[in-house]
A and B are shown apart, each in its own frame.
Chain A
């Protein structure tokens, strides 16, 4: 963990900017006035919720004086003081548990994990004392806590800093798992998560923090809130459905653009919520297009794509014209070398190839290293 801090110091919050999503379906956003980065979206959401409700407080490593390891909590310490923006020692299990205990008594903690890889040190508290408590106590004690932080692969950070936890947390009843993509998602879902009376695991993505997205006036309003458990159709299409979440949505949109030039009209669904999973939207889309490609960054076995496949098979089997294609990260711990890392994470070409396979076009097989 000290290694990560050193890295962050020399590269504070900055990240090599990636290709912006080439097309953003304009009907999804109001006539784009302002642009906002995901980082600012999260910061403003936290700021507004903390100012509206004095029981909301932020806790985590480096959230206060360092202004946040990824600068998400920048400025909050000055505004709200050290009682509400709590710098903790390096004790994930301890402070996650403290957050849960505080939530038992009605405070609304927002616990930041520097990355979700470190949540493994605290996973006992996320699952056993947060997720299960409302059930075990038969509704007496609810846990209005938010665990947030970056999830998934970043750039060259190696095996222990790159795992995607959407599937692990998504399998646990009692948790809500949210995966925002754009600034609108980040603002709306974080506000919904903080106001929610249940434990929410909020999986952000480090590479998206610096990305800018247009935001409408509605999004900037302080009561803006997105529904938990509803996916968003980022781009409409009629030939194939591509589901993705977090960073992979941008890749899916790029793939959809490439596919449209080849005459395949792809519908891109931004899941936004892993638990509850919006099975309705996914199935309605598959019944329309008859083909499905699921895209995720995490490990393939028991992943989010596996759950979506199963759901589609159970509910829309007769509508499928081709087997469901699963795109996931490689079944290996994340390598360090840049070219190997590129192979271990899905790329736009993988999505395009899978879509063409599902549409029964002949395509070359494996990728070139």
Chain B
């Protein structure tokens, strides 16, 4: 099935002549991917034990895309994702314990339990969500890129070169907002990279059944920006392409559209029985696990030993265990949290001419109900 989408050879140097990564970089990439994989496997376990509920969408198999791109970013760069956002948040630096408690719906979660699996926000790490509607994150990401350009040109913060990455899937590429933003991003040369995680399936709808021209990267040049297709199961190839795209955006040359052909090992969500995907296809991709591929590369090029990698595996296992314990032990949000944070200004009555919140003025009367 995936053979229809032809693999374009990306200009990378062969492994024998020039290594693509150093030992340190290799270990960082390995650790990040193992973190993502272990975390998601633990989510599945916790879900079936009833600790997690609602909609949970797991990222197993796609780690190369998240790691390949996000590990090249600075803290000030932003990431916008869809509902399959746990690993994007983890790669960007949100602590695993915060994400796990958020999934358990506890007060100590990154959004204090108010967002949930599909709405991971972190201002500190510039993770701007977490959106349930596909395509909703793309204009928001374009807006974050717009801000970066605005800060540089209007507010004259000369060193503001923050890049935004928008992650979304193959199904989203048929949505109107995607095309609207490709147009505006290229029109205004915004510092954004559109990353398509083409895992060939939108719940049970095959990409080929849903799309008139399945080669998504071609939609980039239609709007005037480069469109690149890359093998999303190979973290090193993704990383090379990402370097170029992020560099382009940082230099102010405008957006790029990167199609990463990847695969999700599990169903769309934990509630999806995953019956429509052919077993042969699943087996084919199971042999192409990105973590195994990176491991192979590391060993073949003598970048690290088996022992080094096992240490990392063990470290991550412990980290995830601690995250689960932390989440388990954390308290549920208090009743008073229900009505909090609806507005940034405490009761929603706006700001007075003295610049302070009106409702804090003792003479102000208000009629909102108390809980």
Binds A, one of B36-44, B53-61, B147-155: B147-155
Taking CB atoms, residues of chain B closer than 8 Å to A89 are 180, 183-184, 187
Taking CB atoms, residues of chain B closer than 8 Å to A280 are 365-367
Taking CB atoms, residues of chain A closer than 8 Å to B364 are 227
- Among candidates B124, B136, B147, residue contacting A125 with C-beta atoms closer than 8 Å: B136
Taking CB atoms, residues of chain B closer than 8 Å to A101 are 80, 128, 139-147, 164
Chain A CB within 10 Å — which of B136, B145, B181, B353 has the most? B353
A342 CB to closest chain B CB (Å) equals 36
A83 CB to closest chain B CB (Å) equals 5
Taking CB atoms, residues of chain A closer than 8 Å to B358 are 227-229
A136 & B352 in contact (Cβ 8 Å cutoff): no
Does any Cβ of A come within 8 Å of B342's Cβ? Answer: yes
A100 & B115 in contact (Cβ 8 Å cutoff): no
A84 & B147 in contact (Cβ 8 Å cutoff): no
CB within 8 Å of B: which A186-217 residues: 192-193, 195-198
A104 & B128 in contact (Cβ 8 Å cutoff): yes
Whole-angstrom CA separation of A67 from B198 in the bound complex:
42
Does any Cβ of B come within 8 Å of A51's Cβ? Answer: no
Whole-angstrom CA separation of A163 from B176 in the bound complex:
24
Output the nearest chain B residue to A282 by Cβ-Cβ distance. Answer: B367
Does any Cβ of B come within 8 Å of A224's Cβ? Answer: yes
Output the nearest chain B residue to A122 by Cβ-Cβ distance. Answer: B139
Binds B, one of A137-145, A292-300, A331-339: A137-145
B281 CB to closest chain A CB (Å) equals 33
Taking CB atoms, residues of chain A closer than 8 Å to B145 are 101
Taking CB atoms, residues of chain B closer than 8 Å to A192 are 350-351
Taking CB atoms, residues of chain B closer than 8 Å to A351 are none
Per-residue contact bits, chain B 68-85, to A (CB 8 Å; 1 contact, 0 not):
000000000010100000
Known interface pairs A96-B139, A124-B136; A135-B342 also in contact (CB < 8 Å): yes
Taking CB atoms, residues of chain B closer than 8 Å to A106 are 147
Does any Cβ of B come within 8 Å of A279's Cβ? Answer: yes
Whole-angstrom CA separation of A224 from B144 in the bound complex:
31
Per-residue contact bits, chain B 86-98, to A (CB 8 Å; 1 contact, 0 not):
0000000000000
Per-residue contact bits, chain B 173-205, to A (CB 8 Å; 1 contact, 0 not):
000110011011001000000000000000000
Per-residue contact bits, chain A 321-348, to B (CB 8 Å; 1 contact, 0 not):
0000000000000000000000000000
Does any Cβ of A come within 8 Å of B267's Cβ? Answer: no
Taking CB atoms, residues of chain A closer than 8 Å to B268 are none
Per-residue contact bits, chain A 97-126, to B (CB 8 Å; 1 contact, 0 not):
111111111110000000000000000110
Does any Cβ of B come within 8 Å of A55's Cβ? Answer: yes
- Among candidates B111, B183, B349, residue contacting A229 with C-beta atoms closer than 8 Å: B349
B350 & A227 in contact (Cβ 8 Å cutoff): yes
A94 & B340 in contact (Cβ 8 Å cutoff): no
Taking chain B's interface residues, is the majority helix, strand, or loop, or is none over half, making it mixed? loop
Whole-angstrom CA separation of A103 from B147 in the bound complex:
8
Chain B CB within 10 Å — which of A98, A139, A173 has the most? A98
Does any Cβ of B come within 8 Å of A316's Cβ? Answer: no
Taking CB atoms, residues of chain A closer than 8 Å to B143 are 97-105
Interface residues on A, range: 35 or more
Known interface pairs A94-B142, A94-B177, A133-B129; A57-B150 also in contact (CB < 8 Å): yes
A54 & B155 in contact (Cβ 8 Å cutoff): yes
Does any Cβ of B come within 8 Å of A225's Cβ? Answer: yes
Interface residues on B, range: 35 or more
Whole-angstrom CA separation of A228 from B353 in the bound complex:
12
- Among candidates A105, A138, A143, residue contacting B114 with C-beta atoms closer than 8 Å: A138
Known interface pairs A100-B143, A140-B111, A280-B367; A176-B350 also in contact (CB < 8 Å): yes
Does any Cβ of B come within 8 Å of A301's Cβ? Answer: no
Does any Cβ of A come within 8 Å of B341's Cβ? Answer: yes
Does any Cβ of A come within 8 Å of B315's Cβ? Answer: no
A233 CB to closest chain B CB (Å) equals 14
B177 & A104 in contact (Cβ 8 Å cutoff): no
Does any Cβ of A come within 8 Å of B345's Cβ? Answer: yes
B123 & A137 in contact (Cβ 8 Å cutoff): yes
- Among candidates B115, B129, B150, B353, residue contacting A102 with C-beta atoms closer than 8 Å: B150
A273 CB to closest chain B CB (Å) equals 9
Whole-angstrom CA separation of A75 from B340 in the bound complex:
41
Does any Cβ of A come within 8 Å of B131's Cβ? Answer: yes
Taking CB atoms, residues of chain B closer than 8 Å to A149 are none
A198 & B348 in contact (Cβ 8 Å cutoff): yes
A134 & B342 in contact (Cβ 8 Å cutoff): yes
Whole-angstrom CA separation of A210 from B144 in the bound complex:
36
- Among candidates B119, B122, B351, residue contacting A196 with C-beta atoms closer than 8 Å: B351
Q: Interface on A for B, CB 8 Å cutoff? A: 54-55, 57, 83-84, 88-89, 91, 93-107, 124-125, 128-129, 133-144, 173-174, 176, 192-193, 195-198, 223-225, 227-230, 275-276, 278-280, 283
6 A-B pairs with CB atoms under 8 Å apart are A94-B177, A98-B142, A129-B136, A133-B129, A137-B119, A140-B124
**What 7 pairs across the A-B complex have the smallest Cβ distances?**
A101-B143, A97-B139, A94-B180, A228-B350, A137-B121, A142-B344, A138-B112
Q: A91-B180, A94-B142 are in contact. List 14 more A-B contacts (CB 8 A).
A: A89-B187, A94-B180, A95-B180, A97-B177, A101-B128, A102-B146, A105-B78, A140-B123, A143-B344, A227-B350, A227-B364, A230-B349, A276-B367, A280-B366
